[in-house]
Amino acid sequence: MASEKRVLVTGGAGFIGSHLCERLLAADNDVLCIDNYFTGSKDNVAHLIQNPHFELMRHDVTFPLYIETDEIYNLACPASPVHYQFDPVQTTKTSVHGAINMLGLAKRVRAKIFQASTSEVYGDPEVHPQVETYWGRVNPIGPRACYDEGKRCAETLFFDYRRQHNLLIKVARIFNTYGPRMHPNDGRVVSNFIVQALRNDPVTIYGNGEQTRSFCYVDDLVEAFIRIMATGDDFTGPVNIGNPNEFTIRELADTVIELIGSKSEIISKPLPTDDPVQRQPDITIARDMLDWEPKIQLKEGLQKTIAYFDDRLSAE
Contact (Cβ atoms closer than 8 angstroms) between residue 206 and residue 168: no
Nearer to ligand UDP, 30 or 120 (CB): 120
* Residues from 161 through 200 that contact ligand NAD (CB under 6 A): 174, 176-177, 183
- Judged by beta carbon distances under 5 to 8 A according to partner kind, the member of ligand UDP, ligand NAD, none in contact with residue 99 is none
* Residues from 94 through 123 that contact ligand NAD (CB under 6 A): 94, 98, 116, 118
Question: Which stretch in 14-22, 103-111, 162-170, 245-253 sits in contact with ligand NAD by CB under 6 A?
Answer: 14-22
Interface with ligand UDP, residue 152, by CB under 6 A: no
Interface with ligand NAD, residue 15, by CB under 6 A: yes
**Catalytic sites, residue numbers:** 147
Binding mask 257-286 for ligand UDP (x = CB under 6 A): --------------xx--x-----------
Instruction: Work out the burial of residue 9: count CB atoms within 10 Å of its CB; fewer than 13 is exposed, 13-18 middle, 19 or more buried.
Output: buried
Binding residues for ligand UDP, rule: CB under 6 A, are 80-81, 176, 187-189, 192, 204-206, 211, 213, 249, 271-272, 275
Which residues are near ligand NAD by CB under 6 A? Answer: 10-11, 13-17, 35-40, 60-62, 75-79, 94, 98, 116, 118, 174, 176-177, 183
